[in-house]
A and B are shown apart, each in its own frame.
Chain A
């Protein structure tokens, strides 16, 4: 199993530009999560999908952030326009189901730097 795949692994962009992060979950998993990690705030959940449907997006910082999951094998997180404070490592994770005992499998992350 290839695990959770994220692309790109690194992204450097200028303020105001659009950024799109991509994630391929583990095949057969029906829950997908986007997290953001910074030194100041640690790991934060941004949004959670179950069966391709967004369930909870309360962690999305503001309207500049949007996430989609058009099918069970692909999800995107878009930032438009990007700002320097969006610089962080963004992780995608998937799990076989939902519930308090499910294990989440994380991807390697996308390191984003907004200049």
Chain B
């Protein structure tokens, strides 16, 4: 399975933008890039996903490198509620129903 690499932790000041990086150098051409987050004591929550082009939604933006070997999740203005573990996951394979969660990046937001 294609793997992802993320920093263990990051900090951000409230109301500032946050850029969460993810490396996936073994990504294949048909793999989707998914981001989920898990707030304390809650289940994982979908954030965004993309294939090749950059994507925007109400929660975040996803910037995908041209060679697709890395991506960045962008939170435009971090709030205290954004403090969570963020997981970058590749949706890969023919029957790619399985989300293989790594350790993710624990984001702390400083008031």
Contacts and interface: CB of A to CB of B under 8 A. Distances in A.
Interface residues of B, number: 24
Interface in B38-71: 42-46, 49, 51
B98 A101 contact: no
B101 A99 contact: no
A45 interface: yes
B102 interface: yes
Interface majority SS (helix, strand, loop, mixed), chain B = loop
B44 A43 contact: yes
Given A100-B31, A106-B45, 13 more contacts: A31-B97, A42-B101, A55-B95, A56-B97, A93-B43, A95-B97, A98-B97, A99-B91, A101-B32, A102-B91, A103-B46, A104-B99, A105-B46
Interface of A: 4, 31, 33, 42-45, 48, 50, 55-56, 91, 93, 95, 98-109
Interface of B: 30-32, 34, 36, 42-46, 49, 51, 91-93, 95-103
